[in-house]
Structure 1
Amino acid sequence: MRVRRVLSLLVVVALTGLLSGAAGGALPTAEAAAVAAVRLLPLRLQEAAIAPSVPALAPAPVVAAPVVAAPVPAPVVAAPVVARAVAGTPCVSTARACIELSSDRAWLIRGGEVSYGPVPITSGRAGFRTPPGSFTVTFHSRDHISSIYDAPMPYSVFFNGGIAFHQGSLSQQSHGCIHLSRTAAREFFESLERGDVVQVVR
Structure 2
Amino acid sequence: MRVRRVLSLLVVVALTGLLSGAAAGAGPTAQAAVAAAVGLLPSRVQEAVIAPAAPAPVAPAAAPEAAPEAAPVAPQQARQRVTSVRVAPVNVPGTPCTSNARACVDLSGDRAWLIEDGEIAYGPVPTTSGRPGFRTPPGTFPVTFHSRDHVSSIYDAPMPYSVFFNGGIAFHQGSLSQLSHGCIHLSRAAAREFFGSLERGDLVQVVP
Match of 2:174 among 168, 174, 186: 168
Alignment of 1:4-153 (within 5 A): 25-26=43-44, 28-29=47-48, 33-35=51-53, 50=56, 52-55=58-61, 57=63, 60=66, 63-70=69-76, 75-153=81-159
Structure number with bigger Rg: 2
Q: Which amino acid aligns with 2:166?
A: N
Per mean C-alpha deviation after superposition, the further-off stretch among 94-103 and 72-81 is 72-81
Is 1:155 aligned with 2:161? Answer: yes
Unaligned runs of 5+ in 1: 1-20, 39-48
Change beyond 3 A, Cα 1:24–1:75: closer
Q: Deviations over 1:179-199 (max 9, x none)?
A: 111111011112222232211
Aligned position for 2:188: 182
Change beyond 3 A, Cα 1:26–1:87: closer
Q: How many residues align?
A: 169
* Structure-2 separation of matches of 1:87 and 1:59: 77
| CA apart distance, 1:73 | 6.8
Alignment partner of 1:127: what SS? Answer: coil
Q: Deviations over 1:20-42 (max 9, x none)?
A: x899522635x96242xx7xxxx
Change beyond 3 A, Cα 1:61–1:87: closer
Q: Which amino acid aligns with 1:114?
A: I
Match of 1:196 among 185, 192, 202: 202
* Structure-2 separation of matches of 1:75 and 1:50: 71
* Structure-1 separation of matches of 2:121 and 2:73: 57
What RMSD over aligned residues (CA atoms) do the two structures have, in Å? 3.1
Give percent identity, aligned residues only: 63
Per mean C-alpha deviation after superposition, the further-off stretch among 190-199 and 60-69 is 60-69
| CA apart distance, 1:154 | 0.9
Q: Which amino acid aligns with 1:142?
A: R
* Structure-2 separation of matches of 1:50 and 1:107: 107
| CA apart distance, 1:177 | 1.4
Q: Deviations over 1:136-174 (max 9, x none)?
A: 222222122334444322111111222210112223322
Q: Which amino acid aligns with 2:43?
A: G
Alignment partner of 2:172: what SS? Answer: strand
Q: Deviations over 1:5-63 (max 9, x none)?
A: xxxxxxxxxxxxxxxx899522635x96242xx7xxxxxxxxxx545151562661662
| CA apart distance, 1:77 | 4.0
Alignment partner of 1:98: what SS? Answer: strand
Q: Which amino acid aligns with 1:132?
A: P
Alignment partner of 1:26: what SS? Answer: helix
